[in-house]
Amino acid sequence: MNTVPAYAEINRFAHALTNWPQQYDQITPGRFDGKLQDVSTGSVRLFRETMNQSVAQHTCTPANTISLLIPLMERPQCEDARGFAADAITLLPYQSDFFFVGPRHTDYLVIALDTQQLQQQLCPVDYHTLQSQQQSQRIIGSRHDLPALRQTTTHWLNTLIALNTGRAGDLVDDLIDDQLVKQQKHIEHQLISLTCELFGHHTDSGNVHWQPLPGRYRQLVKDCHDLALSPEGSSATLLELSQWLNVPQRTLRYSFEKAAGVSPNQYLRAAKLNAARREIIQSDLPIGSVAANQGFYHGGYFGQQYKAMFGETPRQTRQRRRGISAV
């Protein structure tokens, strides 16, 4: 069995995925538990992220990369407005900022293809087909056998990790290095062929239905997020945010419900607590000053909300960062 790195600190987890800039904000309260599997071979990178809490993900997809997100969780269903659906494959935007809020118990696998290497591996027609689709985020409809796809891609991920770490058991009993390379190459080509097949269905037979991902709700949530964490918006009420963004309060509330699954107040309080946690970890500012920077002016309330969200006090977070045992 492969060992999967586990992370109890959400910021360490966000930074564990190399060459994929991202920031994570924990939205639902409770101790965070994240797991990451990540492997690359040739022109393909496969990684799987599992999180037990709802997390707002701010990421920038890498340049020269086509990325497909395959959901591995069956329930709860994820609103398309959040950025991906639990019953479809999502084509992530190309070299772009991307924001979405995953539900509790998010579990997904991403196939990331290097377009520069793909150009040398594919015929011009297949390469052009992939290139022409990578500028926008869309959902591939669920007529494709998603359960089988989940099982197959998860198996390939585990096999590649086992091969790369030399712990594949029976898989490598009598194989020499050059056979291992062949097996890795075989899986790499299977993943490329799978991606071409998905795009090919869309362009040739029409068996796969593509739909634009709803973006307005997520954009409003992100705009509120950015404004609430800015110096001028740290103490803003929902009424003020609505006025500044020139959006009716009802629309804002509905946007948070669809894109984040929580109320605006719950989401923005969580976002500010996450910002405070990063500041506690990264700076030596007094905890009271950190709280005030995020619009928390009552120390007792801040400490109560912080512990409810992260399962520890602000002081314990700082002590752990310094390597001191928290009492």
Instruction: Please report which helix (H) or strand (E) contains residue 11, including its range.
Output: helix 10-16
Please compute the mean of the pLDDT values over residues 91-100 and round it to a whole number: 88
23 touches 58 (CB < 8 A): yes
Question: Is this prediction's pTM over 0.85?
Answer: yes
Percent of the chain scored above 70 by pLDDT? 87
Q: Encode pLDDT of 18-27 as tens digits.
A: 999 999 999 9
Domain residue spans in the chain?
Answer: 6-212, 216-321
As a whole number of angstroms, the distance between CA 185 and CA 176 comes to 14
Chain centroid, CA 51 distance in Å: 9
Q: Which residue in 43, 132, 136 sits closest to 92, CA to CA?
A: 136
| CA 47, 48, 53, 54 torsion-angle sign | positive
As a whole number of angstroms, the distance between CA 145 and CA 140 comes to 11
Q: Encode pLDDT of 251-264 as tens digits.
A: 999 999 999 999 99
Residue 326 pLDDT grade (very low, low, confident, very high; cuts 50, 70, 90): very low
Token pair for 42? 């040739």
Q: Write the DSSP string, 171-215.
A: GGTT--HHHHHHHHHHHHHHHHHHHHHHHHIIIII--S-EEEPP-
Report the pLDDT value the prediction gives residue 270, as an integer from 0 to 100.
97
Residue 144: partners with Cβ closer than 8 Å, 6 or more residues away: 89, 198, 201, 208
Residue type, 229: L
Interior CA angle at 168 toward 162 and 173, to 5°?
A: 150
Does domain 216-321 correspond to CATH entry 3.40.50.300?
no
For 50, half-sphere exposure in the C-beta direction (CA atoms, 13 angstrom radius) is 10
As a whole number of angstroms, the distance between CA 12 and CA 16 comes to 6
